[in-house]
Amino acid sequence: MVKEALFGKTLDELQELVLNMGLPKFTAKQLADWLYKKEVSSIEEMTNLSKKARQLLTDNYSFGLTNATKIQESVDGTKKYLFPTNQGKFIETAMIPDRDRKTVCVSSQVGCKMGCLFCMTGKQGFQGQLSAGEIVNQIRNIPEWQEVTNIVYMGMGEPFDNLDEVLKSTQILTSEWGFAMSPRRITVSSIGIVPGLVRFLNESEAHLAISLHTPFHDERQKLMPVEIAYPLEEVLNEIREWDFGRQRRVSFEYIVFHGLNDTPAHVREMARILDGIKCRINLIRFHPIPNTPLKGTDEATLVEFKEGLEKKGITTTIRASRGQDIYAACGLLSTKALVK
Ligand code: SF4
């Protein structure tokens, strides 16, 4: 029988667990220290726990870290890790170094059910949810974990389709008893599932990124089926209710496709729909994937598009493409090629 993992449990869950085993309540805090603050990977190494406690824990639980089974490194230093999940599937994690930053891009699901036209993960289909432990393992169990400065939930999956576990993972990352990271170093990216968005904004202080990709309803429906159930207009109405002018930020991700969403009409409509929202737009180059008619825009149009948005007063950046040679760039994560 596979033992339940300790890694990925919140302090409250650890407290319940130790009390149920007849251990003192303070053991939970000691456990959290070993799990989230120290460089150990077995219950045996938790030396300030009594022998009895260690034995009881070992009999019933595993520490719960899972090692990557494959690591690839790009010419630009980006690394991609392949992690097995508890259900015998695989997920990918990217680590992107950039000057004094190390950003980890984590997956929140195995595959994805959202079916966005431009995304390799979407083509893979949905294969399962990740637990909070499996999400945090992608940060804690890479060699660079002590140097990680930023975390983005932009890997495989739609975070708001696995919100309980995603919120639990951000709690572990930001709590004093956990990794004690600032929530301002964490960005959760979603295509805009409105009920999930409302809950996320209420329960987390992390930054928000919304995959926008086109301001027009009809066009967005074709690119992203989520637009049918949760139109962008509803997403933006919800965002308007919140203050993004201070510590918490909202950004909009926009993959620029040739001849599809890169025209002056798109610039004008973007400015209209985002009026009154303090935000930034990240323009993303499209990396071709098999079986799609979509093409990336050319560099001159990309720059023109950026300048057009800036003239409308919207802070806009063009995201550098990283890790493309190892398929770690945006929209390219798919374990199919790796696990064959
Ligand atoms: Fe899923 Fe995100 Fe890919 Fe859409 S872009 S299919 S939500 S992983």
Query: ipTM, 2 decimals?
Result: 0.99
97 alpha carbon – ligand 1 mean position (Å): 23
65 alpha carbon – ligand 1 mean position (Å): 26
- Percent over 90 (pLDDT), the chain: 89
pLDDT at 115 over 50: yes
Answer whether 158 contacts ligand 1 (Cβ < 6 A): yes
The annotation status of 157 as a binding-site residue, yes or no, is: yes
What are the extents of the domains in the chain?
4-62, 70-338
In CATH, the architecture of 4-62 is Orthogonal Bundle (1.10)
Q: How far apart are CA 8 and CA 225, in angstroms?
A: 32
The annotation status of 217 as a binding-site residue, yes or no, is: no
335 alpha carbon – ligand 1 mean position (Å): 14
Give me the mean pLDDT over the 124-132 stretch: 95
Atom 4, ligand 1: which residue's CA is nearest? 116
pLDDT at 184 over 90: yes
- Percent over 70 (pLDDT), the chain: 96
Give me the mean pLDDT over the 317-323 stretch: 87
Helix (H) or strand (E) holding 60: helix 51-60
The annotation status of 213 as a binding-site residue, yes or no, is: yes
What confidence score (pLDDT) does residue 246 get?
82
Return mean pLDDT, the chain: 94
Q: What is the amino acid identity at position 121? A: T
Using one digit for the tens of pLDDT, what is the confidence trace for 21-71? Answer: 999 999 999 999 999 999 899 999 999 999 999 999 999 999 999 999 999
Give me the mean pLDDT over the 273-279 stretch: 96
The pTM of the full predicted model, rounded to 2 decimals, is 0.95
Residue 150, SS3 per DSSP: strand
Give catalytic status of residue 92 as yes or no. yes
Give me the mean pLDDT over the 160-188 stretch: 98
Fold category of 70-338 in CATH: TIM Barrel (3.20.20)
Atom 6, ligand 1: which residue's CA is nearest? 122
Which band of pLDDT confidence, cut at 50, 70 and 90, is reported for residue 304? very high
Q: For residues 232-269, b (16+ Cβ closer than 10 Å) or e, as one string?
A: beebbebbeeeebeeebbbbbbbbbbeebbbeeebbeb
In degrees and rounded to multiples of 5, residue 69 shows phi and psi of: -100, -10
Which band of pLDDT confidence, cut at 50, 70 and 90, is reported for residue 339? very low
The tokens describing 165, both together, are 């576990």
Using one digit for the tens of pLDDT, what is the confidence trace for 214-238? Answer: 999 999 999 999 999 999 999 999 9
The tokens describing 308, both together, are 């057009």
Give catalytic status of residue 39 as yes or no. no
Using one digit for the tens of pLDDT, what is the confidence trace for 234-250? Answer: 999 999 999 998 889 99
Answer whether 191 contacts ligand 1 (Cβ < 6 A): yes
Catalytic entry in 134, 165, 279, 330: 330
Catalytic entry in 13, 73, 92, 253: 92
